[in-house]
Each structure stands twice: as structure tokens, then as C-alpha cells.
Amino acid sequence: MLVLKAMKLFIFGSTGDLVKRKIIPAFRELQIDDLEIIALGRKNFNQETYQGYVCNGDDCFEDFKNKPQYHKIEFGESLVCEHCGEFLERGKINYFYSAMPPQNLESILRYLGKLKREGFQVRALLEKPFGNSLVDALNLKELAILENVIDDIDVADHYLFKEEIVSMNPRDFKKLKIVSLEKVGLENRISYYDGVGALKDMVQSHLLNITFKIFGSLPIRSADFKVEVYERGQYEGYVDELGKPSETETFVKVIISSNGKELELVTGKKFDKKSAYICIDGKKVNLISEKNAYTDLFVNFLGGKKENFVSVDTIVGAWEIVEEIQKKKSKLFLYKTDSLSEDFCQ
């Protein structure tokens, strides 16, 4: 049990799908004493209708000590939350979690900087992606430094808090393969996902962050690696779900060679089964944990432990790699839903 002293956590994007599926269940499980949760969103909910929305009609707040208090807010151009002042505390750390799209991060960083200049202590956990491109990530890093909040932010990657990943130690290898294939499709995320795709949604964050943890550093730079393979696919029916033509990929396979090492990253949606594993020189580690990794992620964030969070510099390095991958042109192909998942280690 995490012991806290009357902390407050503000959630931006509290009406989004991620908060409903992962964040609320994580806090239900944690049952942290003395943590006040303030859910902020644009939708016209009251406390009762918000509970019904995030709990899918169930009474999930009945066993939830720290029931989120929902407050409808408007996001202005210069002020993220006009009404948060009545909840902020001086002399204590004010915690913020953002599940907002990357285009909102600039406003959030400026808001955090404003609060610090007013004498408030802040810490923020920002959901990936950190920017939409290398230029975006560099601009956000520069802004975080300018606003004096670079040391007050963590970037969330729940894959790094999976039990199998946390227990991994850095090691040398000749061939590393990471596979994450899902049976599910886009569900309620298709409008967001269509502007991102599998390369930015999975490779740029989760798969490369796992790679860096295994390396123990940020070893791959654009100057010393070569993209050998870049395949892009889209499952049949995606365009019908979206309701318009799209070149967005739902499957990616990338093979990179660097200094005698080979890195293969595979990810996709709508396969016959879920398949997630890491293969290091022929030795397989299944990523089979069904535990909600956000429980440990928030324990670390609220407990001030930063070692398992990805650094902003690492994110910039991942964007450098992704942009090199994109330079290798790849024609989009269609694949059938329920295609066979990869489940082998070589």
C-alpha cells in the first residue's frame, strides 16, 4: 500500500477511453488513502453521469475510496484550467495526469510553468505520444526547459511497468525481436488512431522503449543504423470502420541493423490471437501478464520514483529512429482480419 499525505491528482482527459479502460480500474485496485482525484473534462457530465460513463453503468465507485470528483472545464488558449485554482494546494505537490492528445501538451506545459511561477509545486505524468514528430518532440522539450518543468514531468509508457519488462536487466545480444500483435481492432480509438498509425503508436514508444531498456542506454542513432525492412499493412474493413479512405497502417514490421546487431519489431491489430513476446538470441520471454500495469505506474509516479519512466531525451532518440524508418518507402498492403499471429522465436 502506498502511504501518502493528502495528495491531489488532477486528470486531464478524464472522459477519454484510456481513463475508462485502464486508469479508473487502476485506482479502484490501489485504493490509496488520502488521495483526492479531480477529473477534468469538456463533456457535460455531473458526478452521477460521469460515474455511469466511466463505469459502463456499473456502480464501480461504491468500493472506491477516492471517488473522482468530476468538473467540466473549458480549455482556453492560454489557461488549461480556469477553475483548478480552488483545488490547488500550496506547500504540497499538486499532481497532474494528462491523457490528452499531443497537440494539447504545449498548453499543459505552459500551465505547469505558470503554476510554478506562482509558487505551486507540481509534478505531471504525460501520456504518450510526446509530440507527433521529431520536430514536435524537440519543441516540447525546449518549452519544458523554458517553463522550468523539465524535471517535473514523466512520460507514461505502461509497457515499461509490465512485470516481465521491469525484471529485465540490460544485456548484450546479436538479434533482438519484439512482437506485439492484438486480436482486437481499434474499438473506440479509430478517430485518434487514424492520424497516428502503428509505427507512431507502438514502435516509436512501446517497442523502442523496451529496446532501450534491454540495451541499457540509447545506443542507436540515425548515423549508425540501417533500415533493412519496413512493411506496412492495413486490415481489411478498416476503411469501412473509419468511413473514408485512409493510408494509415495497422501493422508494421521493421528490421534494423546496427553495429553487428539486428533488431526486428513487429506490431499489428486484428490478428487471430494476441501474441506478445521478446526474443533475445533465440531465447523467448512471453509478455503474458494480465495485470493492469497502470497500477504500478501510478505507484511509482506518486511515490516519486523516476527510474522506470522514459526520459524526454530517449523519446527524442526514438523519434529520430522513426523518421529514418519513414524514409524507406513502403507501399501499404491489405491483410485479412484473423490473419495468423507470429508466435515463433528465431
Give yes or no: residues 216 and 87 share one domain. no
pLDDT score for 227: 92
Single out the residue in 156, 174, 205 at which a domain terminates.
Answer: 156
What is the per-residue pLDDT for 181? Answer: 94
Q: Cis link prior to 129 (omega < 30° from 0)?
A: yes
Residue 206 lies in a domain: yes
Query: What pLDDT sits at residue 78?
Result: 55
**Residue 256 domain boundaries:** 159-289+310-335
pLDDT number for residue 147? 97
- Domain end, chosen from 156, 171, 186, is at 156
Q: What is the pLDDT of residues 79-105, one digit of tens each?
A: 677 778 888 988 889 999 999 888 889
- CB count in 10 Å sphere of residue 245: 6
Clarify whether residues 208 and 254 are in a common domain: yes
166 and 143, same domain (yes or no): no
CB atoms inside a 10 Å sphere around CB 289:
14
For residue 47, pLDDT over 90 is answered with no
The confidence score (pLDDT) of residue 219 equals 54
CA distance 156 to 31: 21
At 252-298, the pLDDT tens digits run 999 999 888 899 999 999 999 999 999 999 999 998 778 899 999 99
On whether both 29 and 75 belong to a single domain, the answer is: yes
Q: Does 170 fall in a domain?
A: yes
Residue 301 lies in a domain: no
341 in a domain, yes or no? no
Q: Report helix, strand or coil for 318.
A: helix
* Structural domain total, the chain: 2
Query: Residue 341: its pLDDT value, please?
Result: 87
Residue 300 lies in a domain: no
**pLDDT averaged over every residue in the chain:** 88
CATH number at residue 98: 3.40.50.720
Boundary (domain end) residue, out of 105, 132, 156: 156
Instruction: State whether 89 and 20 are in the same domain.
Output: yes
**Sheet containing 175-181: order of strands:** 283-286, 275-280, 175-181, 261-268, 251-258, 226-235, 332-335
Answer yes or no: do 171 and 152 share one domain: no
